[in-house]
Amino acid sequence: MATTEFDDAQNAEIVSLTGGDTTPQDEFVVPQGVKPPRKSVWAVFKEMPILVKLSTIWLVVLLLSALYAQLDVRVFHGSLPLADPNLQLNGFNPKTGEFGTGAVLESPSWQHPLGTDALARDTFSRALHGTYVSVIVAVVSVTCGVVVGGLLGSLVGFVRGKTETGLMAMIDVLLAFPALVLLLALISIFEVRDLFVISFVIGLLSIPAYTRVSRANSLAISNREFVTAAEAIGTKKWTILRREIIPNVLPTLLAYAMVAAAAVIVVEGTLSFLGLSVQLPTATWGNMINQARRDIKVDFGQVLYPALLLTFTVLALNQVGDFFQRRSSHRASSL
Amino acid sequence: MRQRRVVTALAIPLAFAFVAASCGSDSSSSNVTTAGTTATEGTTSTDTTPRETVPDVDTSVVAQTEKPVMGGSVTMGLEAEATGLRPWEDSCSSPCYNIMRTIYDTLMEEQGSGGYGPYLAEDLTPNADFTVWTMTLRPDISFHNGTPLTAQTIVDMFPLQQAGAAGASAISSSKLTGVTATGDLTVDYTLSGPNSAFAAFLAGAPLGMPFDPAAATADSAGYSTNPIGTGPFTIKSRDIDNETVVVRNPNYWRTDADGTQLPYLDSISFRPIPDEGTRLDALLSGTVTAMQSLRQGTIRDARAAGGNINLIEFQGNNTGGGMYNTAIAPYNDQRVRMGLNKMNDQKRVIEALGGTGISLPSTQWFSTDSPWWTQEAADSYPAFDFDGGKALIQEYVDDPARTDGKAPGEKIDVELSCPPDPTLIAAMQVIEQVWTGTGLINVKLTQYDQATHINNAVSDKHFAHCWRWGGQGDPAAQIDPFVADPAVSVANFPNYNDPEMQQWAAEADATDDFETRKALYSKIMTKINEQAILWYSGSTAVMVATEPDVKGIISWDLPSGEIGVGIPDAAVRWQEVFVSAG
Amino acid sequence: MVKTIAFILLRLIATLLAVTFLTFAMVALLPGDPVDTILGTGPRPPGIEEQIRADLHLDDPFLVRYVNWLGDAVTGDLGSSYITDQPVADTISQRLPVTAQLAFMSIFISVLVAIPVGVMGAYKQSKWQDSVSSAGVQVALSIPNFIFGIFLIWLFAVKLGWLPASNWNRLSDGVVPNLKTSILPAFALALGQMAVFSRLIRSDMISTLQENYILSARAKGLSDRYILFRHALRPSSLSLMTIIGISFGALLGGTVVIETLFAIPGLGFSLINAINGRDILLIQGITVFIAVMFVIINTVVDLLYAVLDPRIRRS
């Protein structure tokens, strides 16, 4: 449907975009599989295009600062130079025993690089502390989706038959089931608002999508020459799945996972408004965005900063992800 | 009615828990056009000053001076859709009242001076002990479908009201037991006990809005989309959650002082716009020509939006806050409750709610603008006192006989639960920081969706629980069920059973002397404060904002010429609203 | 053919049974009580709770209630809302056109943007064109859609005054008024999807372009454009079709955030209100409807696989 309907529009666009001065042969030729020698991390880094380099630096800085924030809380009990993310600067300060003189929704300053939020808390510090939660939620739930959904999808797309029918019916049930009902039920079941429980729940809800995407690819790959050939020479099904299907399903799945990661971080913030997320006043990027929303007409920055962090991180993840995907596809000789 | 409002006030923000937006804090104000700047006769403002050094917000009601113009229409953005339009059945809150009041008239109306005057009724007189109320209806009133309104109509409405969810509750709290017609236009309301505040019940939806009982019996569900009343407008179309249009009732019974037939407007279109920011944007962009809001943050944003809109602010008798379940430890010890209350920093909670300079700190059920407000109750509400509060908690913690069974010296556990509304989330974090700051309290913050939150209170599974207090109307309707024996009254959520307060409430029901009743309710509110059964934050500021040419929103009057109460709950009486030609 | 249809129907029925039963069970497990929503928190005359429970059959055992509901549903009676007494079927039929139109428009916009971006991303893999377009869609993705929505309202309604800020004009009011109210929410919804769609297209396309038949097409001297859109796009759209199916289903289930922001009377809005009020029959009705949609759409997607990549048909 898509192809026939939109052909003309795209054709026009693609022509103008490609400009016609490239040598298409080069685009399509895949370097044939000579395994390059293992390189040091530094060598790999040097190999990166500038955008990927910047992205890597961003991710490393982010991880280090999340680590720093965690160290500050867990090891040094707030003695490192970083504002307390939960201290309301206009409220009672247990450390000094006095009431602070801070203000709500302050503009950025040297003291508060990203200003303060609606409760007069240091936004910079909250963003740093929020990194930890947001990254954990994104990584755990996406991993959950990719591993379970990816495996199931690859399997049924390849094996087919009754297994496929049964499993896909179950997936339909999961997809059609109102997520909010499930979430509210889980709130009443799990008293603890554990970070990993939340990540798991989000992951669980995303499994159907991963399953369907990987199944679609698995279906296509299962009929390629190299798979039918492998079957013909009596290779074990499990081996085919592992060697041929999964490696070929993975790129698409990962591409999906990396864009989904951003959505997950925002969803977590939405969940905090259902009471199903980390206990208040813990900061996450998602709940920072959502809590600042009510003041968006007064102080746009408080929505903007966490959203920008999210944007840069997603961009960086995708850049780096693409780079490694390219590298691995250059190495693997699936053709 | 308060009981209705509690649910809906929670329901409205919560229905959109995902996305709810509103409120913040900024005291800057510019280009505020409040309803009036000079207090004239019939204003609702009083001369009392708030306890804190917070600038008062002028929300006085004055008479309309501009000459009304016939014709025109208004599109109003409401904060939610009306649950339904059946007075006897559906919970009605602010947006619903905006629509309902166009279709239905109330028998009585609340006056700016505090009492209730006849509206659709011509007269309402109690007997000596307030157990029988005789109402005389206005002659020659008919419903939109032509059916005349008679005493028999009121009698026939009663079984439906008894069976209706909203009606049953109002009947129960008003002590109404029977309705009999004593003439073509005279009705006797018989009560099971004295209730000097019965008139208030005839000013609200469940009991006070005449509907056509025959049509309602024939098709109850359909009545919601095709309501029939005696009001100034008739329903034209109802597309739920999108648009409800009402058009002028050409046969409306009221005329203005010059003899012009009301209403002035040709039609009104109601558009529910749940998002606070969008609703304001809709007004600013001309998508709607009027809007309402019950959120301080929106009032702040509307003030900042400039002079192109006409802003009408009103301090209603609603206040945020919470309550303790006094049936369980440690909340069954007054020292704990008072300690926690003393450390509840009202000013900062209001700031977190976005209401600084918009909503005033409250100390009782009524706002300072209400005639029921008393200095006595205000003085009894604890001022913010961290050291004093901490000392009380310390006393409890060190008490070998402490009620929670823990060893002396151990921290007490407090669970503070609020619905997951963004403003409440902010407020509870403010409270949490101060309480935790004592080093004596483990505070756990929980949020449950609105249905669970209410159910927890109804079924006594609550601890320290966010709640709303107050409401328009007579104190009897609001305070009596709250202090009644918790074994009988589900509305006594804190489970604080106090015969003395129940006695005062009974005394107040048996007299219609305003000062006596005011003194009795003041004693109740004072005792509630001294016993620290509940806490207050700020009174709910409400607003109706319109394009500059929409007039007459706040200055409606009763047939007697007495000026009305204004726009409590941002519910507009539409019959006297007009679009100015200039 | 008959066999296929029978199979699809069987699957639909099985899914519906499972979904409705699970929903019914979950809602029964939820804390909160529809009686509270109906009665509010005011004084309750003695006996009224019991009466409401009896009227609504809330005290019947769970299985009895489910079977009764199922029996009615089979005959087309989805019941009425506990709270408003409006028939559930009416609520759904009022909201469906709104939600369906919005879903279709946003998918259309997303696909319109995603295909050229995705194809170019693959064709110019790791060239600047790829980087820029990828970055563009990823920025779009990581902007929470309500922020984008607020921005759209501010720009097009408040600043420019071109479009209304909120609410919905039904198609019966005319196509142009309808488009005026639907275009902004459709764009706000499309923003996140176009990123996902284009990434999937790009990724699938990259692997398709490595296939032998593409190389042989090149060897035949066919133009890039022809190869990209005639030979490569079709088999590369499997993931896209899959995710469109899922998105479409999810959009039909409603997009509460955007519906609330733009005050649009859609299904999601209704569902959230029903869940918040524990309005069980309304929850059930909407859930059944969403489940039917999911099964139908996913069946269509499955059939399309074979059309897009004929080799799949073999098995």
pLDDT for C267-290, tens place per residue? 888 888 888 888 888 988 888 888
Tell me, what's the pLDDT at B13? 33
For residue C84, name the pLDDT band (cuts at 50, 70, 90): confident
Rounded mean pLDDT, B162-177: 89
pLDDT of residue C311: 74
pLDDT at site B422: 79
Asked whether the beta carbons of residue A177 and residue C235 sit closer than 8 angstroms, the reply is no
Q: Does the CB of B491 have a partner CB in chain C at under 8 Å?
A: yes
Nearest-CA neighbor of B541 among B362, B375, B420?
B362
Is C133:C120 a contact under the CB 8 Å cutoff? yes
DSSP state of B318: E
DSSP string, B349-397: HHHHHT-TTTS-B--SSS-TTSTT--HHHHHHSPPP-HHHHHHHHHHHH
Which of C31, C83, C265 lies at the smallest CB-CB distance from B242? C265
CATH code at C164?
A: 1.10.3720.10
Q: Helices B94-103 and B2-15 sit at what angle, rounded to 10 degrees?
A: 120
The lowest-confidence range among A236-240, B264-268, B272-276 is A236-240
Q: Residue C111 has what pLDDT?
A: 93
Q: What is the pTM of this model?
A: 0.85
Number of separate domains in chain C: 1
Of all residues in chain A, the one with the smallest CA distance to C204 is A252
For residue B61, what pLDDT is reported? Answer: 61
User: Number of H helices and number of E strands within chain A?
Assistant: 14, 2
What ipTM was reported for this prediction? 0.89
Contact C166 B77 (CB under 8 A): yes
Kindly state the tokens that stand for B275. Answer: 């998002």
A173–C275 CB contact, under 8 Å: no
- Which range is least confidently modeled, B192-196, B413-417, C221-225? C221-225
pLDDT at residue B380, as a whole number: 95
Contact C95, C265 (CB under 8 A): yes
Choose the most confident range, by mean pLDDT, from B159-163, B221-225, B484-488, C195-199. B159-163
CA–CA gap between residue B349 and residue B344 (Å, rounded): 8
**Segment B373-395 mean pLDDT:** 94
d(CA B326, CA B551): 48
Sequence-separated (6 or more) residues with CB below 8 Å from residue A305: A114, A123, A127, A288
Full residue range of the structural domain in which residue C159 is found: 94-279+295-314
- Identify the segments of chain A with pLDDT beneath 70: 1-38, 187-188, 190-193, 272-275, 328-335
Nearest to B224 among C38, C85, C158 (CB): C85
- Determine the angle formed by the axes of helices C280-308 and A195-222, rounding to 10 degrees: 30
Q: Write down which chains contact chain B via at least 3 CB pairs under 8 A.
A: A, C
* Across B126-135, B392-401, C239-248, least confident range: C239-248
The SS3 call for residue B77 is strand
Cβ contact C294–A175 (<8 Å): yes
What are the phi and psi torsion angles at B248 (to 5°)? -55, 135
For the ranges A275-284, B87-96, B338-347, the maximum mean pLDDT occurs at: B338-347
- Where residue B307 falls among pLDDT bands split at 50, 70, 90? low
Q: Report the percentage of chain B scoring pLDDT > 90.
A: 52
Q: What is the pLDDT of residue B112?
A: 81
Question: Is residue C17 in a domain?
Answer: no
CATH of A50-333, one of 1.10.3720.10, 3.40.1010.10, 1.10.1610.10, 3.40.50.300: 1.10.3720.10
Angle (nearest 5°) at CA C101 between C95 and C104: 135
Q: Which range (B147-156, B288-297, C80-89, C223-232) has the least confidence?
A: C223-232
Average pLDDT estimate for B195-218: 92
- Taking 80 as the threshold, does the pLDDT of residue B570 lie above it? yes
In the block, residue with structure tokens 């798991």: A200
Which residue carries 């011509």 as its tokens? B122
What is the Cα–Cα distance from C250 to C107, expressed in whole angstroms? 11
Check residue A328 and give its pLDDT.
Answer: 67
DSSP A32-98: P-PPPPP--HHHHHHHS-HHHHHHHHHHHHHHHHHHHHHHHHHTSTT-SSS--TT--TTSEETTTTE
pLDDT for B283 equals 94
What local confidence, expressed as pLDDT, does residue B449 receive?
A: 81
C4 within a domain of the structure (yes/no): no
Confidence of residue B242 (pLDDT cuts 50, 70, 90): very high
Residue C207 above 90 pLDDT?
no
Partner-chain contact C315 A329, CB within 8 Å: no
Inter-chain CB proximity B19 and C45 less than 8 Å? no
Tokens 């679009």 found at: B579
Of the partner residues A11, A49, A172, the one whose CB lies closest to the CB of residue C295:
A172
Phi-psi region of B547 (alpha: psi -120 to 50; beta: other; left: phi over 0): beta
Angle at CA of residue B5, ends B233 and B120, nearest 5°: 35
Average per-residue pLDDT for chain B: 85
Select from A221, A183, A217 the least CA-distant residue to A202.
Answer: A183
Distance from CA of A82 to the nearest CA of B (A): 19
Q: Which of these ranges, B245-249, B430-434, C69-73, C123-127, has the smallest mean pLDDT?
A: C123-127
Residue type, A8: D
The pLDDT assigned to A100 comes to 80
| pLDDT category of residue B144 using cuts at 50, 70 and 90 | very high
pLDDT at res. A23? 35
Instruction: Give the pLDDT mean for B306-311.
Output: 82
Report the distance separating Cα B447 and Cα B17, nearest Å.
11
Higher pLDDT pick, A14 / B222? B222
- What domains are defined for chain B? 317-540 (3.10.105.10)
From A64's Cα to the closest Cα of chain C, the distance in A is: 22
Q: Which residues contact A301 (CB under 8 A, 6 or more apart)?
A: A107, A108, A114, A115
Nearest beta carbon to residue B84 from set C84, C154, C263: C84
pLDDT of residue C242: 87
- pLDDT of residue B20 exceeding 70, the answer is no
Confidence of residue C105 (pLDDT cuts 50, 70, 90): very high
Tell me if A91 and B447 make a contact (CB, 8 A cut-off).
Answer: no
